[in-house]
């Protein structure tokens, strides 16, 4: 599957995991946004539901077991190259997830993993839609 200059949009899932007033973020080990903090997630695989994909991606990247409890949003992530051609095109489906078990540790394509308070998260240079969905996750986790 071609991620750069794709022939069609790729479907990705993301997991906003809120526990004890903190959100779990991973430092990305691959492009796009290599070296930047983001929510755990990745591409949907053939034959799995979007919720199954969220559970799998969290397990692969962090070692945690989660339960997707609420759809937070669907986002477009279009990234052009310097010539205006579409370098990346994702449709991202993000869930609020409840932590079931495990200890967070970086795995798969995550270089690091860390829990952030809302205040710490707000100081990070996150893409606008990522910050927005995390804020929504905090709000919904506080007021289910």
User: What tens digit of pLDDT does each residue of 29-60 get?
Assistant: 776 677 889 999 999 999 999 999 999 999 99
Q: Which residues are CB-contacts of 35 (< 8 A; sequence separation ≥ 6)?
A: 27, 28, 111
* 5 pLDDT above the threshold of 90: no
**10-142: which CATH topology?**
Nucleoside Triphosphate Pyrophosphohydrolase (3.90.79)
Q: What is the pLDDT of residue 144?
A: 65
Asked whether 137 and 96 are in contact (CB, 8 A), the reply is yes
Residue reference for tokens 């310097």: 82
Q: What is the pLDDT of residue 143?
A: 79
> Under the phi-then-psi rule, with left for phi > 0, alpha for psi from -120 to 50, and beta for the rest, what region is 5?
left
Mean residue pLDDT of the chain comes to 93
Mean pLDDT of 77-94: 94
E-strand stretches of 61-130: 65-80, 86-101, 110-117
* Domain map (residue ranges) of the chain: 10-142
Counting beta carbons within 10 angstroms of the beta carbon of residue 108, is it exposed (0 to 12), middle (13 to 18) or buried (19 or more)?
A: middle
């Amino acid at each position: 599957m071609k991620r750069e200059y794709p022939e069609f949009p790729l479907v990705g899932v993301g997991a906003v995991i809120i526990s004890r007033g903190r959100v779990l973020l991973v430092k990305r080990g691959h492009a796009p946004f290599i070296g930047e903090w983001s929510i755990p997630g990745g591409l949907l695989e053939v034959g799995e539901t979007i919720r199954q994909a969220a559970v799998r991606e969290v397990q692969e990247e962090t070692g945690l077991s989660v339960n997707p409890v609420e759809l937070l949003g669907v986002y477009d992530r279009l990234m052009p190259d310097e010539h205006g051609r579409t370098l990346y095109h994702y449709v991202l489906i993000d869930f609020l997830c409840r932590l079931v078990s495990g200890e967070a540790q970086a795995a798969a394509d995550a270089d690091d993993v860390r829990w952030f308070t809302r205040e710490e998260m707000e100081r990070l240079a996150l893409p606008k839609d990522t910050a927005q969905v995390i804020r929504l996750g905090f709000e919904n986790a506080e007021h289910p």
